[in-house]
Structure 1
């Protein structure tokens, strides 16, 4: 099939009006080396600022904006618990090793806290605006004052029957040790005066994690909400406790109260010589809950006496103390996003099941034998990945299944399919990664369940995470054994597969099958693979393969041939990789990068990176696929380009400390689908895109033509799922990278 898309690299120029680079150095020689990079942590905060900007995006439905606000809060929490906690630990140990931009841990912490204060203020301002807008849309989030008499009786009964039995007031005095406040724990402090003798005491109530953040008042008889039929009233559990505190403390006068929230160091460090990895992780998960306090959130009018006790007893020394007159724990707003109001959400979307598989009567293996298949999630259903394992489990000709599992979720059909296969007598091997941050406990549960079913569970390397997404099925056929493989850019996670954009590649290519087997043996038996035919593996040779491809573009530019690099990934922070791209820019190679999150590379700097452009896409779905394309002596996008999908971002951890895969795409149809549709459509997106400037700032892409939204395009284009596989080549309309137009 022929494509109607631009085929000349001359079209790949400015797609919007970019502001001039502020104080850009004239040449690389004048640029201090540290100034060649952006700080990783500050770049991440800039990413979260873009997420937060979507909460203020009036083009989005109201509850979707609330979702983005909640996500920004969850993102910041994790950033504090992991990244900031790590820097605090370095500062406390006197480590002054500078980051890629030359900042020491102490200097980074100072810059981070200044930015955090700004982000927190932005969150609260957006929350106030959204709260008003939600009220106008008949969704009310009440404080302790906004409940009409019609709802008061229900709330009081709910408090007495559902809340009072599970909360425990504790006096803070010499006779009662200060209670432990767990990570992400919320609590209330009350300053009380006993009516009988006027003695003053302070009581703490820790809010159990089993309780929701909000309770929705039922709309009984059209008026229980105090607002009328069709309206919703939410009140936070903390506000409910404050409202009925007199029920808790009869005989006392409440002088003051305040809500607080604690974040702790949640990183897990594992000793390389750990003899029992499972036991070590179980202990580490317990320690995580008791880590050093990293952040303390307080209500702005928190009672001064209670605040003094908190600061003393929690050992808040290096922690960030944030006082707010808004909402504490912004992430909790996710509960309200679940309100049944379709008019305030994105239009419902159901992923398509791949037509190629349907044409083979649902037989996944028959479809793969016929031709390689690429699946584009979430536009096409993750169910086909589950069916790949499920059908293998029920197939008497299947002799073995091997699969990596990094994150699988709490209700995983993939896990159940592997169990079914093992119970059917198939040899099943699962590489379960215990070091998947915040999924360690869930993965331990899956590992135990898999082992009980007879699955051979392997935990991989102690000091490397197994992050590659690979599943292989060995089947006995008339011609002998055949290996069917699935290579993915995303996890085997049925929930995130509905909101993350990822690629699933199915193939029965014997070379890829042999390479996949060697990679599995490397993880399960530490047998270093020799003679790999197509796949590159981190930490062995993946970095070198990308270097080699970049160097080829540099050489082609020197010969006057077309030279271009297109990359899409989530983060780029590795200095070696950035320097290689700078060298490409200096040689005249046109480099187009789509980097969703952290980017330490400075684009558009004369003498350093003037031929590099970077943009970030933030929209309805989370961009997650990693795609790497190299012109290979031809004008982009070209059928002759060297094209790869990968599990790896361009970070030191992915290239040097994780097991990752880089998969070449050689099938012409699949190649065209990925390069000339998926990657190009991302390049051409204007509606959800942000340009990164040489000073570290981001600005929305502007266009003088019709805006183009790649998410909407893939959702609505009816010809995407066709005989060619997941995407029909040539389906994308004529788009101009130069003018930024979609037509």
Structure 2
């Protein structure tokens, strides 16, 4: 008689016993009194905008860290500038818009929009001035000591000045367009983030003064190379030769300035018959968004500043006075200098062991490898090119592949993955590309990709009306001897080979049938009329990510009450959603330990007696941008972990299609658990969030990214 027919004679395994015990644990349902104990704490949320500024402060602290290589510190200065620019273009612009339209709704932090805006300005101005001081007092002198000189015009010797004069005459002068301001010439439009010279000239015959604007062209080196690693700002070269732009006039003064504009894009999809056309029209409007910030050099004359403020229709509170040079985004070019002694040691990603042939130089058969084992990828330590990119490229070339379906949110300018999808379509395969053309600041590029894919015969769709498709999914359908098989990739990062070398992300390659069924249904949902909202192995926003995670948090409370292992660990970019935060507060009050690793914004207030005593929040920043999202639960002794694209923010949970997948094997779960163990170890270097919203540096002997690089090198060796 078979054992299947007499299960009562078969001894249960410890694993089965554990599962049975977990299943017997009563579920936890919050009582009204539990919820009241949370909601009566009116100041339990930190303000999201101010928390973001604290994040950029941590970036600035990396630039201040003398233990880091000098050119990497220089790069962090450039990153700080770019971050702050985008913050003003989107978040500050949004605050101003809400105030102007009278939608002055109190934030979850309890602050009114005007109060938030005033505090933002105080803190942003202080950080900007600190940033300028770090450049002038620390980075520039340290670079000079290493033979890299960022000098001003007055520091140039005679030969250098002659070389700059020749450069101006031959290349720069033909490009410049001086724009006068007088009754016949209205004040010119100043494009967002452009660097400009405000020039005051005088007619020697009449003695009358005039104003003119000269735009510093962005298609030249921001820091003009002089040879021997010496550089001078381009605006200095232009400023010294302004007389050639205004012959017969006296140049009295010139000051650099820079405007930041509202560059967020809004499209009413319900009213747009053609989303591409509507978005293209809106992108044109973006160029004329209202100004939200004016940066000027400290030396600017009061009369010139008054004119700029008046003509730009901006308030003095929105003016930031800084020592020059302005606009340090282009410090990336200095950080890219070939001075390897001043950079992080060279690092080359390696092929994941399960995707590497031990005794062959030929590329591995990705499909054969995935059939044998699920592969949990950890970029940039695991090469994107020899894993995800190779997966799509082999699918495009494989005659047994029938279809490829993929989401495209952001990708590189010369994307091999887009090229592979085009090759697949031209080879007669069914190709579905779900292109999110509303990906902020990548809209124009994604419109180009969409049209290129359509021309190649791909089925191109733009997702669901009212929702951005942010999930990272790829499905390959292959005809095999034993039938149709689906190969799935689900990741936390974009299909972008360039950022995959700089962003830390996790991805799963699997042939798990349940996951394959879910992903197939989801693609049908996104491209057709399916409205399947529940999936076996996925949580999908806006339907189930929030509720699914809250249910898991409640389950941990139930395990804790039953005396079983309980604990919660999240690794995210940001956590803002009030429902999820309140659920974590409930878990903390019940005694469940909660550890959060947050790169950016955190609205949760940890360490508050009676509310969040059992919650700790840490942040790790460094060489790579920590971008993966992991949600781990102790599960009463049977841990579970989810990875995916969703952050704990309203936009991700309510206005985007996001996907979390439950890791299906003990091997992948163990790898994620090991990563979290390192991240939360006491000896790991990072920042710790205090109850008042400040972050304090927690110096440690273990630098997580360096440790993972070393582990990768050891594995490769």
Between 1 and 2, higher relative CO (CA 8 Å, sep ≥ 6) is seen in 1
Cα distance, 1:326 vs structure 2: 3.1
Change (3 A) 1:451 1:607: same
Task: Check if 1:38 corresponds to 2:26.
Answer: no
Instruction: Find 2:184's aligned residue among 160, 166, 175.
Output: 175
Q: Does 1:158 align with 2:152?
A: no
1:554 matched to 2:549:
no
Q: Which residue of 2 aligns with 1:478?
A: 481
2-structure distance, mates of 1:608, 1:364: 49
Give the equivalent residue in structure 2 for 1:382: 384
Matches within 5 A, 1:148-547: 148-217=157-226, 219=227, 231-273=228-270, 274-317=272-315, 320-359=318-357, 362-383=364-385, 384-529=387-532, 532-547=535-550
Distance change in 2, residues 1:115/1:718 (3 Å): closer
2:50, 2:120 within 8 Å by CA — same for their partners in 1? yes
Note the C-alpha offset of 1:684.
2.0
Other-structure match for 2:606: 603
Match of 2:32 in 1: none
Give unmatched runs, 5+ long, in structure 1.
1-26, 220-230, 635-639, 723-727, 729-743
Does the aligned pair in 1 maintain the 2:619–2:686 contact within 8 Å? yes
Q: Deviations over 1:428-467 (max 9, x none)?
A: 0000001111011111111111111111111112311101
C-alpha displacement at 1:308, in angstroms? 2.1
SS in 1 for 2:344: coil
1:645-684 to structure 2, matched below 5 A, reads 645-675=643-673, 677-684=674-681
Shift of 1:319: 6.7
Task: Give the Cα–Cα distance (whole angstroms) in 1 for the partners of residues 485 and 418 of structure 2.
Answer: 23
Conserved? CA contact 1:85–1:265, under 8 Å: yes
Confirm or deny: 8 A CA contact 2:533 2:543 kept in the other structure.
no
How far the C-alpha of 1:686 sits from its partner, in A, is: 4.2
Between the aligned partners of 2:36 and 2:165, the Cα distance in structure 1 is 69
CA distance in 2, matches of 1:88, 1:570: 25
Question: CA separation of 1:28/1:518 partners in 2, compared to 1, >3 Å: closer, same or farther?
Answer: closer
Question: After TM superposition, what 4+ stretches of structure 1 lie above 6 angstroms from structure 2?
Answer: none
Aligned to 1:84: 92
**1:147 pairs with 2:156:** yes
> 1:191·1:303 contact (CA, 8 Å) conserved in 2?
no
What secondary structure is seen at the aligned counterpart in 2 of 1:672?
helix
- In the alignment, the residues of structure 1 paired with residue 379 and residue 510 of structure 2 have an alpha-carbon distance, to the nearest angstrom, of 17
Normalising by structure 1, we get a TM-score of: 0.89
Contact 1:556 1:563 in 2 (8 A): yes
Q: 1:685 to 1:203 in 2, by over 3 A?
A: farther
Say how many residue pairs are matched. Answer: 676
In the superposition, the TM-score normalised over structure 2's length comes to 0.92
8 Å CA contact retained: 2:646, 2:653: yes
Residue by residue, what CA displacement relative to the aligned partner does 1:586-629 show, whole Å, maximum 9, x if unpaired?
11100011011100001111100000000000111111110111
Q: Measure the CA separation in 2 of the matches of 1:31 and 1:514.
A: 40
Question: Does structure 1 conserve the Cα–Cα contact (< 8 Å) formed by 2:409 and 2:439?
Answer: yes
Do the aligned partners of 2:621 and 2:686 also contact (CA within 8 Å) in 1? yes
Within 2, Cα distance between the matches of 1:526 and 1:347? 51
Helix, strand or coil at the partner of 2:73 = helix
Alignment check: 8 A CA contact 1:466 1:659 kept: yes
Q: Which has the higher helix share?
A: 2
Render the CA deviation track for 1:22-76: whole Å, top value 9, x for unaligned: xxxxx99699533101000000000000000000000111110010011011000
318 and 541 in structure 1: CA distance in 2 versus 1, 3 angstrom threshold:
farther
CA shift for structure 1 position 214: 1.9
1:547 offset after TM fit, Å?
A: 1.1
Match of 1:137 among 146, 167, 173: 146
- How many Å separate the matches in 1 of 2:380 and 2:560? 37
Q: CA distance change for structure 1 residues 340 and 555 in 2, over 3 Å: closer, same or farther?
A: same
Of residues 700, 710, 714, the one that matches 1:716 is: 710
Instruction: Tell me whether 258-267 or 329-338 shows the greater mean CA deviation.
Output: 329-338
Matches of 1:340 and 1:195 in 2, distance apart?
A: 49
Query: How much does 1:202 deviate?
Result: 1.6
Query: Structure 1 pair 530/251, CA: closer, same or farther in 2 (3 Å)?
Result: closer
Could you tell me how far 1:685 is from its partner in structure 2?
Answer: 6.8
Q: Matches of 1:544 and 1:570 in 2, distance apart?
A: 19
**Structure 1 residue matching 2:173: 3-state secondary structure:** helix
CA distance in 1 between counterparts of 2:465 and 2:113 reads 27
- Is the 8 Å Cα contact of residues 685 and 710 (structure 1) preserved in structure 2? no
Q: Which runs of 5+ in 2 are unaligned?
A: 1-34
Residue matched to 1:222:
none
Bigger mean CA deviation after superposition, 241-250 or 111-120: 241-250
